[in-house]
């Protein structure tokens, strides 16, 4: 039985029974929800959104930072808007 390999996945303890329930990406099993996540161009983490919040929207940037590498340049520069 396959399970989603994304450690942040809410459904990672649900078995993926049908082939239509998951995708294999770079050798990792991802449920359909996770397979639709995008890859950050800076830290290569899989993220749920690459929408850019307002530069002064600290709360939103803190939330987004959780999906990125601690060193991620996209987060550090607030998508280069703040520099």
Query: Which residues would be at the binding site for Zn ion (CB under 5 A)?
Result: 4, 6, 9, 31, 34, 40, 42-43, 68, 72, 74
Q: CA–CA separation, 34 vs 62, rounded Å? A: 21
Q: Residue 68 or residue 78: which is nearer to Zn ion going by CB?
A: 68
Q: Are 61 and 46 in contact (CB under 8 A)?
A: no
Q: Are 41 and 49 in contact (CB under 8 A)?
A: no
Q: In the bound complex, what is the minimum distance in angstroms from residue 66's beta carbon to Zn ion?
A: 11
Q: In the bound complex, what is the minimum distance in angstroms from residue 35's beta carbon to Zn ion?
A: 8
Rg (CA), the chain: 15
Q: In the bound complex, what is the minimum distance in angstroms from residue 4's beta carbon to Zn ion?
A: 3
């Amino acid at each position: 039985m396959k399970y989603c390999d994304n450690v942040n996945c809410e459904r990672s303890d649900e078995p993926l029974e049908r082939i239509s329930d998951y995708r294999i990406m770079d050798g990792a099993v991802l449920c359909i929800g996770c397979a639709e996540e995008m890859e950050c161009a800076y830290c290569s983490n899989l993220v749920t959104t690459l929408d850019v919040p307002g530069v002064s929207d600290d709360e939103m940037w803190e939330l987004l930072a959780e999906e990125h590498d601690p060193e991620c340049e996209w987060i550090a520069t607030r998508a280069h808007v703040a520099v």
